[in-house]
Chains A and B, each alone.
Chain A
Amino acid sequence: MAEDLNWAIGGEAGDGIDSTGKIFAQALSRAGRHVFTSKDFASRIRGGYTAYKIRTSVDRVQSVVDRLDILVALTQRTIDENLDELHEGSAIIYDGERSWEAEIPDEMTAVDVPLKSLAEDAGGAIMRNVVALGAACKITGFDVEYLDEALEKRFGGKGSKIVENNKEAARLGQEYVEEHYDLEHLGYNVDVTDNDYVLLNGNEAIGMGAIAAGCRFYAGYPITPATSIMEYLTGRIEDYGGHVVQAEDELSAINMALGAARSGARSMTATSGAGIDLMTETFGLVATSETPLVITDVQRSGPSTGMPTKQEQGDLNMALYGGHGEVPRFMITPTSIDECFWKTIEAFNLAEKYQTPVFLVSDLAMSVTEQTFEPETFDMDAVEIDRGKLVDEDEVDEWLDSQGRFRAHAVTEDGVSPRAIPGTTDGAHMSTGLEHDELGRRTEEEDERVQQVDKRYRKVETAQNDEDWDYREFGDEDADNLVISWGSNEGALVEALEYLEEDGIDVRVISVPYIFPRPDLTEEIEAADDTIVVECNATGQFADVIEHDVLTRVKRINKYTGVRFKADELAAQITERLSEEVPA
C-alpha cells in the first residue's frame, strides 16, 4: 500500500471551505493521484464549523481514516475538532495575524502564514484560502503547476485576471513557507503519475447515469443532500431534449415525474428525509397504475428533521415497505460512487421492463464524497437501454378486447402488460390508483382484484428469476467470518480487510446492492461460523431483513453517530464482534 496523505481545510461555513477543498482535490486528481474526500458540515449558510477532508494516494482510496497530516485551520475550533486525528508529524497552517491565538499542541508543526495579507498582495483578501493551498503544496512537495490547472478550471469562466491573481496567491503562499520554514523533517512526498482520472461525487454520478439512461424529465424539491442531483441535471439535461422542474413540494415533484413517465418519458425524482415521507402518498399509485418511475432517496439522518447533513442508512424499511396497502416495487442501492452511475441506468431499465416504481437508495456519505476514477469506469458505449413492452400502433391491435378497447393491464404470464404511450392510435386507456380490471376501469370484483394483485407481484417474481441480483464480494471467499453490508460502507469494509489481514483475521465481505429482490444469502451464512451485518443505523434494518430470510441470528455493527464508518474503526469493531457470542 502506497503512503497516503490526509489533508483538510476547516473553518466557518461561508469561508469558502468547500470550494477550496474541491480545488485541491482537483489538483491532486490532475496529478494522476487518487482522491477520496469527505465533508464535515452543518445545515447553515454561515458560521459553525465546517471542514473538507482529502485522502490521497497513488493507489485507489475508497474510505476515510482517522488521520490528518496537513490541516489548514481558519479557526481554533477546526484544530480542536480534529485533535484526535492529528499526530506528531502533522503540520497546521494558520494565519497568526488574525485575531485568534492559535493553540497548537507542542509536538505538531505550526506553520504561521499571513494568509490575508498575502492574498491582499495578490489582489484580494478573498483568495486567502488559495494562499494556504500554495503553502500546503510547499509543505508536501506537491508541484504547484497542478494547482494552477485546477485554478484555471475553477476560475476560467471569470476571466484571465482572476485566474492570474489566484495563481499569484498560491505562489505567495508557497514562497512564504519556503523563506520562513524548513520542513524537510516532515518528510511528506506527494508522487505524481501519468494517469488521467475523473473526480466526481455520488450525486453527480446519479445525474450522469440518468442522462446516459435516457432520462429526460426530472422534478424535485430542494432538500439536503439530494439537491445536487437536480443541480447537476439543470443546464445539462436540456442538451439532450430534457427538462428539470423545481416543483412546489415533493408531493408535486413525484406526481409531475409520474405524469411524464405515463407519457412515455424516462423520468425521475430524487429526495431525502421528510421528502420521501411526502412522496409515500404516491408510491401506491405508481405501482397500481403500473408506471415506470425511478424514485431516488439519498438517505440522511432522521427521523423528522434529524441531522440533515449527517450520514445514515435509516430509510431501508421506508423504501421497502412504505405506503399503505401492499406496494410491489424494486429497491436497489449503489454501494460506491461509480455504482451510483450504473445502478441508476439499471433502475431505469428495471422500471420500464417491469412497469413499476424502482427505489434507488443512496446515502449522504456517497452524495458528498468526491472520488477519482478512470474515465473508462463510465464507458458510455456499454450503456444498454431496455424499454420493455412498449407497443406501437401495429402491436396495439393484438391487445384490444372484442370491443376494440386496449387492455393496458392485461393479465399475462410474466405479469407485464403491453404499454401504449399517449399518441399511439387505438391505445387510449385510463390508469388509476383504484383497483381496476384489464382495461384500467374500476372494479371491486373478487376475481379481478386477485388477478391484478397477483399480476403485479408476478412481475416481481419474473424479475427475480430473469434478472441478475448478484452481490459484490471482497476478501477471502473461503473465510469462516462473513461480513455483510449495503450502501456506501463497501469502501471502508474493503480497506478494513487490509487491517484485518495484518492481524491474521480472514474475512469474506459481501456487499449487497439489491434490497428487493435480493440475493439469497442462506448458503453463504450457513457456510460461515460468524456473520456480521454492518450498517449506518441504530436498529439494524438490513440485519432484520437477513435474519428473516435465513431464520438465523446474525451479529450487528451499527453506527448512528451521523459519521460514516472509517476503515480502521471498522476493522477494530469486526475483531471485537467476532470474539462475542451470537445473540440469542
Chain B
Amino acid sequence: MSSDVRFTDFKSDKQPTWCPGCGDFGTMNGMMKALAETGNDPDNTFVVAGIGCSGKIGTYMHSYALHGVHGRALPVGTGVKMARPDLEVMVAGGDGDGYSIGAGHFVHAVRRNVDMSYVVMDNRIYGLTKGQASPTSRSDFETSTTPEGPKQPPVNPLALALASGASFIAQSFSSDALRHQEIIQEAIEHDGFGFVNVFSPCVTFNDVDTYDYFRDNLVDLQEEDHDPNDYEAAKKVILDSEKEYQGVMYQNEDSVPYHEQHGVTEDMSEIPDGAPDDAMDLVREFY
C-alpha cells in the first residue's frame, strides 16, 4: 500500500459520457478522494458497478472493478469481500439498480453487514433509458411511463436500511463536495456495511429534484446536533417526510462485519498445488 496515492490515481483516462452537469461527476470525485484519503490504492480496491448511468463509474475510475448485471452489484461485492477480506470494496449503483431490481439484495446485504461501502446515486429517475419513473420518484412525478405520476409512494431507502438492521446509514449531496467526500469517507472507515444515498441530480430528465431544490431544502445534520449513535434520533430523521437531510443518520458503534462474525480472515485466492494435506480425512469420514 503506497502512502502517496493521489485521488487522480483512481481516475481512468476514459472521458465520462454523462450529460454536462450530471450529479454523478461530483459523486465520483468524492468517491475517488475518499478512497485516496483513507489510504487505499487502485490495486487493492475493488469497485463493483451496477447498470445505468451510475454504473458507468467503473469505467471512469481506475481500480480492479466489475460492471455486472442490473441490480446484482451487492452480491458481487459480497463475494469479493468474502474471498478477499484484505480488499477495499466499494459498490456503486443508482436508485433503479439498488431499490427496484436490486431491492432484495439491498435488504440482505444490509442484514449481513458486509464490510463495504455502498454508494447509491439517487436522481429519482431512470436516466439511461431516457426518463421513466424510478422507485424514489415522487408519487405525482410525470414521466413517459407514468403520465399522471406513479401514484404510489416512493421507496424510503434510509428507512428500508434501518428496518433491515443497518449499521451505517448516511445521505449526501453530490454538489456539496466536501461534505459528500467526508460522508463517503466515514462509510469507508465504518466496520461493516456503509450505506450512503447520494442526491445526484439528473439535469436532463428530472426538473423537480434539481440542484436548486436540494440546495434550498437540504438540512445538514451536523448543524442539528444530531447524534448518529442514537437509534431513536436516527429513526426520527429517517422517517421525517417533511425534510431532506444530509449527513450520517445512524452508526452502530458495536458493528461487527460479516466476515469477522464468521471468522473469515484468509485470502481465499491462495491454494495448494494439489489437494489439501489432510484431504484424505474427508474420504475417511465416509467409512
**CB atoms of B66 and A431 under 8 A apart:** yes
**CB atoms of A422 and B67 under 8 A apart:** no
A259 touches which one: B12, B63, B66 (CB < 8 A)? B66
Which residues of B in the span 100-142 have a Cβ within 8 Å of any Cβ on A?
Answer: 104-105, 107-108
**CB atoms of B280 and A380 under 8 A apart:** yes
Which residues of A in the span 179-235 have a Cβ within 8 Å of any Cβ on B?
Answer: 196-200, 204, 208, 211-214, 216-217, 219
Asked, given contacts A242-B268, A267-B83, A427-B43, whether A281 binds B67 with beta carbons under 8 Å apart, the answer is no
Which residues of A in the span 380-429 have a Cβ within 8 Å of any Cβ on B?
Answer: 380-381, 383-385, 403, 421-429
**Residues of B with C-beta under 8 A to A432:** 58-59, 66-68
**Residues of A with C-beta under 8 A to B67:** 430-434
Is A265 an interface residue when CB atoms closer than 8 A count as contact? yes
Quote the shortest CB–CB distance from B55 to chain A (angstroms).
Answer: 9
A383 touches which one: B77, B267, B279 (CB < 8 A)? B279
* Nearest residue, chain B, Cβ from A384: B274
Quote the shortest CB–CB distance from B11 to chain A (angstroms).
Answer: 12
A-B contact count (CB 8 A): 214
**CB atoms of A236 and B13 under 8 A apart:** no
Quote the shortest CB–CB distance from A276 to chain B (angstroms).
Answer: 16
* Nearest residue, chain A, Cβ from B71: A251
Is A245 an interface residue when CB atoms closer than 8 A count as contact? yes
B75 touches which one: A200, A251, A263 (CB < 8 A)? A251
Is the interface on chain B under 10, 10 to 19, 20 to 34, or 35 or more residues?
Answer: 35 or more
Asked, given contacts A263-B83, A375-B283, A430-B59, whether A381 binds B66 with beta carbons under 8 Å apart, the answer is no
A258 touches which one: B12, B76, B107, B284 (CB < 8 A)? B76
**CB atoms of B82 and A245 under 8 A apart:** yes
**CB atoms of B84 and A424 under 8 A apart:** no
Docked CA distance A253–B267 (Å): 20
**CB atoms of B79 and A258 under 8 A apart:** yes
Is A441 an interface residue when CB atoms closer than 8 A count as contact? yes
**CB atoms of B275 and A422 under 8 A apart:** no
Is A38 an interface residue when CB atoms closer than 8 A count as contact? no
Is B78 an interface residue when CB atoms closer than 8 A count as contact? yes
Quote the shortest CB–CB distance from A406 to chain B (angstroms).
Answer: 10
Is A257 an interface residue when CB atoms closer than 8 A count as contact? yes
**CB atoms of B65 and A431 under 8 A apart:** yes
**CB atoms of B78 and A259 under 8 A apart:** yes
Asked, given contacts A257-B79, A425-B43, whether A243 binds B262 with beta carbons under 8 Å apart, the answer is yes
**Residues of B with C-beta under 8 A to A236:** 282
Is B62 an interface residue when CB atoms closer than 8 A count as contact? yes
**CB atoms of A383 and B275 under 8 A apart:** yes
Which residues of B in the span 268-287 have a Cβ within 8 Å of any Cβ on A?
Answer: 268-269, 271-276, 279-280, 282-284, 286-287
Quote the shortest CB–CB distance from B238 to chain A (angstroms).
Answer: 23
**CB atoms of B80 and A263 under 8 A apart:** yes
* Nearest residue, chain B, Cβ from A243: B264
Among all A-B residue pairs, the 7 with the closest Cβ atoms: A259-B79, A264-B269, A214-B271, A198-B286, A265-B268, A265-B83, A255-B75
User: What are 22 contact pairs spanning A and B, CB under 8 A?
Assistant: A198-B287, A212-B276, A213-B275, A238-B263, A251-B72, A251-B105, A252-B78, A253-B75, A255-B68, A260-B83, A262-B80, A263-B83, A285-B69, A375-B280, A384-B274, A403-B13, A422-B80, A425-B43, A430-B58, A430-B67, A433-B67, A442-B59
